[in-house]
């Protein structure tokens, strides 16, 4: 999904979001128990967590390590709930995460699922996700950063704050960079309001590692580091098939063969962005298919004509003309 932010109405109206709030009972918004569940099944009942995880399995190709970590985290939360019901624990667990991987590897998509799971198990009041980058948090002038960051936190409160390319918040080369101010506010809220807000930092693995080395306070607040691997060519092909099927399109055998070649070439070119590049390539192929059909105004078009991509729709890509240029 490409939309930058997902807001739900009804976020908490906090006067000062950085003020520490006393720890309070979880389970304010989720579907799980106030009933003192004692079994895993009781906690899961009605929470839809199993179906969210199954859907994630079906919807996303590959990503086995990520899916496994998601299940592990869900299990941890369910057990935490049971422990809480028996009075074995009272502190809110730290659930802040980092999602590292190259562009288009599914980080935003998985974060949205994670927000749903956290909500359904009662760890955040609402399942909304607010996606931001440095520019949403950091101001240009002195005094602008704190209000900007707090405004974003207010919107995200009760849900998940997803900070894409989080390392841009830290610019050591610029002594008076306002990013540091945003980081400090985030650190406070991540500690003091962790029962009401989960922060996910996303970006390239190597840059995130450097960021954590320079910001140990941030590193120590991240409970789960999840790595998103690049997709193999066969996975990209499978992703393409799924994306097309969702929109009632398919490739004929010629298009399919051309697309395998396309994937190989595209992967070696600059700005390759995994599944995102596949989505973009398919959009362009659909444009070409439309132009092809448009140029035969008198032809009666069958459902098959309207939903089939042919080899020429793929082969007209610039990737084939000039393999060094980007798609």
Ligand X SMILES: Nc1ncnc2c1ncn2[C@@H]1O[C@H](COP(=O)(O)OP(=O)(O)OP(=O)(O)O)[C@@H](O)[C@H]1O
What is the binding site for Mg ion (CB under 5 A)?
Answer: 108
Cβ–Cβ < 8 Å for 73, 224: yes
Among ligand X, Mg ion, none, partner that 63 touches (CB below 5 to 8 angstroms by kind): ligand X
Closest separation in Å from C-beta 107 to ligand X: 3
Report the partner that residue 188 touches, choosing among Mg ion, ligand X, none (CB closer than 5 to 8 A by kind): none
* Residue 14 vs 133, nearer CB to ligand X: 133
Q: Which is nearer to ligand X, 282 or 315 (CB)?
A: 282
Q: Which is nearer to Mg ion, 163 or 314 (CB)?
A: 163
205 is in the binding site of which of Mg ion, ligand X, none (Cβ under 5 to 8 A by kind)? none
Q: Which residue number, 105 or 215, has a Cβ lying nearer to Mg ion?
A: 105
Which of ligand X, Mg ion, none does residue 242 bind (CB under 5 to 8 Å by kind)? ligand X
Q: Smaller CB distance to Mg ion: residue 69 or 81?
A: 69
**Smallest separation, CB 296 to ligand X (Å):** 31
Alpha-carbon span 81 to 32, nearest angstrom: 9
Which residue lies nearer to ligand X by CB, 66 or 185? Answer: 66
Out of Mg ion, ligand X, none, which partner does residue 61 contact, by CB within 5 to 8 A per kind? Answer: ligand X
For residue 105, the partner it binds in Mg ion, ligand X, none, with Cβ less than 5 to 8 A by kind, is ligand X
The residue among 104 and 159 lying less far from ligand X, judged by its C-beta, is 104
Q: For residues 60 and 107, give the distance between their C-alpha atoms in angstroms, rounded to a whole number.
A: 11
Least separation in angstroms between residue 222's CB and Mg ion is: 18
Give residues in contact with ligand X (CB under 6 A).
1, 60-63, 103-109, 239, 242, 273, 275-276, 279
For residues 256 and 310, give the distance between their C-alpha atoms in angstroms, rounded to a whole number: 8
Least Å distance, CB 315 to ligand X, is: 23
To ligand X, the closest distance from the beta carbon of 324 in angstroms equals 23
- Residue 275 touches which of Mg ion, ligand X, none (CB < 5 to 8 A by kind)? ligand X
Q: Longest Cα pair distance anywhere in the chain, in angstroms?
A: 74
Shortest CB 269 distance to ligand X, Å: 16
Q: Give residues with Cβ within 8 angstroms of 111, minimum separation 6.
A: 99, 129, 131, 160, 162, 200, 202
For Mg ion, the nearest residue by Cβ is: 108
Q: How far is the CB of 99 from ligand X (least distance, A)?
A: 8
């Amino acid at each position: 999904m490409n939309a930058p932010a997902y807001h739900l109405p009804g976020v908490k109206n906090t006067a000062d979001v950085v003020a520490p709030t006393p720890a309070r009972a979880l389970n304010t918004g989720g579907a799980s128990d106030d009933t003192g569940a004692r079994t895993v099944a009781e906690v899961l009942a009605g929470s839809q967590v199993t179906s969210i995880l199954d859907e994630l399995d079906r919807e996303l190709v590959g990503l086995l390590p990520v899916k496994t970590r998601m299940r592990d985290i869900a299990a941890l939360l369910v057990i935490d709930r049971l422990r809480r019901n028996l009075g074995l624990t009272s502190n809110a667990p730290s659930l802040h995460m980092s999602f590292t991987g190259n562009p288009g590897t599914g980080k935003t998509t998985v974060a949205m699922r994670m927000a749903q799971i956290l909500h359904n198990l009662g760890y955040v009041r609402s399942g909304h996700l607010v996606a931001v980058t440095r520019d949403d948090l950091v101001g240009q002038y002195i005094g602008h950063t704190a209000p900007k960051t707090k405004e974003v936190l207010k919107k995200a409160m009760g849900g998940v704050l997803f900070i894409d390319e989080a390392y841009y918040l830290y610019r050591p080369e610029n002594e008076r960079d306002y990013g540091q101010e945003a980081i400090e506010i985030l650190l406070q809220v991540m500690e003091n309001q962790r029962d009401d807000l989960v922060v996910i930092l996303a970006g390239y693995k190597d840059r995130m590692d450097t960021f954590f080395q320079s910001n140990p306070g941030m590193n120590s607040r991240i409970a789960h580091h999840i790595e998103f691997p690049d997709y193999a060519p066969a996975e990209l092909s499978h992703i393409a098939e799924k994306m097309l099927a969702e929109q009632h399109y398919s490739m004929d055998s010629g298009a399919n063969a051309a697309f395998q070649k396309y994937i190989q070439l595209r992967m070696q070119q600059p700005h390759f962005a995994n599944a995102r590049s596949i989505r973009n390539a398919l959009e362009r192929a659909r444009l070409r298919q439309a132009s092809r059909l448009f140029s035969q105004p008198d032809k009666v078009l069958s459902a098959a004509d309207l939903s089939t991509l042919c080899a020429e729709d793929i082969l007209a890509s610039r990737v084939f003309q000039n393999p060094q240029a980007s798609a």
